[in-house]
Amino acid sequence: MNYRFTIYNQDATYDYPSIDDVDDAIDYLKNPDSFRSFDIGLIELLKKKGYTGDINDIKDLSEYLVSRLKNINSQIEKETVISWLNGTHRPKIEPGSRNKIYEICFALNLSLDETSWFFRHVYYDRAFNCHTIEEAVYYYSFLHNVTYAEAQKIIQEVKNIPSATDSDASANYTQYVKNLIHECQSVAELKEFLTQNKGNFNAWNKSALNALNNYVSALIGSPESKSIIDNLKRTIAQKRNNGKELPSLNLADYQTFGLLIQELIFDSKNPYECTAESPTEYVFEAIDNRNIRKNTFILERILGTQKICRNNEKISIPYIVRNNFPSKKTMSDILSKDKILVSKSYDSIRKMIVLLDFYQFWVKVKLTTNNMEFPSDALPKIYLDEANALLDQCGYEKLDAVNPYDWIFLCSARSKNPLEYFRAMINELSDDD
């Protein structure tokens, strides 16, 4: 495959290290030539898999792909293919579009690695979510050159067999399934494995839910801390109303509180951050009449703004960034056990994990600046290693600069003040006209 974008995007994460470079970083992010678009990636793939005609001839390109799709009885319409190739539309990153991407991969006889590349570098989602029977079968199919028609037959046969009793799946069931599929030497062995473990395919995202719950707990603190904060708000309000001196807030006294409140107190001591008459006033203004455990408060504190990247196709923010960008609605759905354990919105779950992980890592660095264990130039690599380990544990793709959403975090992590830089970028994106 062509790795021009991979190298180009990776190098660019080092090009804007100062807070003064944020505008230039945003310009890079918004430039449609900076990242591989779906049409460019698809045409690149067609060239590799046998197309020898003019890559600028959309009609010829579309006829080539449509003919390959018809060979596997795909129902993707010619108009859809044309819109992909001329760049007017791209498949949405949502459950309903994933099978279309697999159909392209089957139609072009892609290998396992080529399919993973196409998902990750062109469609911008992970391939082979093997916690579903369909994608587990697809994984085996690309591993052993099984056709699309044969894969559909296997899926239907497995689904027609009554479910076994649910069993306790491993934490990272996706990787567990992949490992066992590698050991299957025949379709019969694959079907036997899937039918015996069918109950485990009724729920997924367990590792992701566990990680997200741990992050949220770290951000908001224990349930007991809420009542203490509420009492503090009442005390400050009474003293303000009576014209009395406000109590001083020392970070050392709030170490058991959530990271959001700890950062707020930390910032209140910074004359460049504190815009109120006093540090206590600064904290009070931020938490007065606010429920510090609500998703809205969490996101506003992390992002540094009450506005977020809008999911509007008419604005210039890249689709990959604005699609499923963390919002209070997506956060509510993701943190709902009933919803996440059957959710196929992998993009929104991964984006939330990346956001919360980024904040927790860098706010801890910020709060312990005076007694940092590692030199500052080592921190970006430590962040990247830890973030990738978590994503891998949860069954998601590692951070990659070819993904515009990931690029924001990688670029921010390599700046002198990652949280400040990240919030400046988000503020610029949120103000987009």
| Whole-number Å distance between alpha carbons of 348 and 351 | 5
Q: Which has the minimum average pLDDT: 78-87, 102-111, 316-325, 379-388?
A: 316-325
Beta bridge partners of 257: 221
Residue 276 pLDDT class (50, 70, 90 cuts): confident
Average pLDDT estimate for 56-65: 97
CA 429 to each of CA 4, 157, 350: distance values in angstroms, whole numbers, following the listed order: 26, 48, 20
Distance of CA 106 to the CA centre of its chain: 26
Q: Tokens in use for 377? A: 């130039």
For 124: left if phi > 0, alpha if psi spans -120 to 50, otherwise beta; the answer is left
List pLDDT tens digits, range 6-41. Answer: 899 999 999 999 999 999 999 999 999 999 999 999
**309 vs 172 pLDDT, higher one:** 309
Q: What is the DSSP string of 177-227?
A: HHHHHHH--SHHHHHHHHHHTGGGGG---HHHHHHHHHHHHHHHB-HHHHH
Q: What is the mean pLDDT of the chain?
A: 89
Q: Which has the minimum average pLDDT: 137-146, 264-273, 308-317?
A: 308-317
Length of the chain: 433
pLDDT beyond 80 at 309: no
pLDDT at 314: 56
| Whole-number Å distance between alpha carbons of 414 and 381 | 9
pLDDT at 63: 97
Dihedral angle sign, alpha carbons of residues 315, 316, 320, 325? negative
**71 vs 336 pLDDT, higher one:** 71
pLDDT at 81: 98
pLDDT beyond 90 at 172: no
| Whole-number Å distance between alpha carbons of 274 and 351 | 30
Nearest to 394 by CA among 341, 336, 343, 350: 350
Matching residue, tokens 């991964």: 350
Question: Residue 326, SS3?
Answer: coil
Question: Residue 327, SS3?
Answer: coil
Question: Percent of the chain beyond pLDDT 90?
Answer: 59
Report residue 257: phi and psi, to 5°: -85, 170
Angle at 325 between CA 138 and CA 2, to 5 degrees: 50
CA dihedral defined by 151, 152, 153, 158, rounded to 10 degrees? Answer: 90
pLDDT beyond 80 at 401: yes
**310 vs 274 pLDDT, higher one:** 274
List pLDDT tens digits, range 139-167. Answer: 999 999 999 999 999 999 999 987 655 55
Residue 61 pLDDT class (50, 70, 90 cuts): very high
Average pLDDT estimate for 207-221: 92
Residue 4 pLDDT class (50, 70, 90 cuts): confident
pLDDT beyond 90 at 308: no
Question: Percent of the chain beyond pLDDT 70?
Answer: 93
| Whole-number Å distance between alpha carbons of 230 and 245 | 19
Nearest to 405 by CA among 346, 337, 362, 334: 346
pLDDT beyond 70 at 235: yes
pLDDT at 164: 59
Helices (H) and strands (E) in the chain, counts: 23, 0
| Whole-number Å distance between alpha carbons of 109 and 118 | 12
pLDDT at 28: 96
Residue 227 pLDDT class (50, 70, 90 cuts): confident
Nearest to 100 by CA among 89, 319, 383: 89
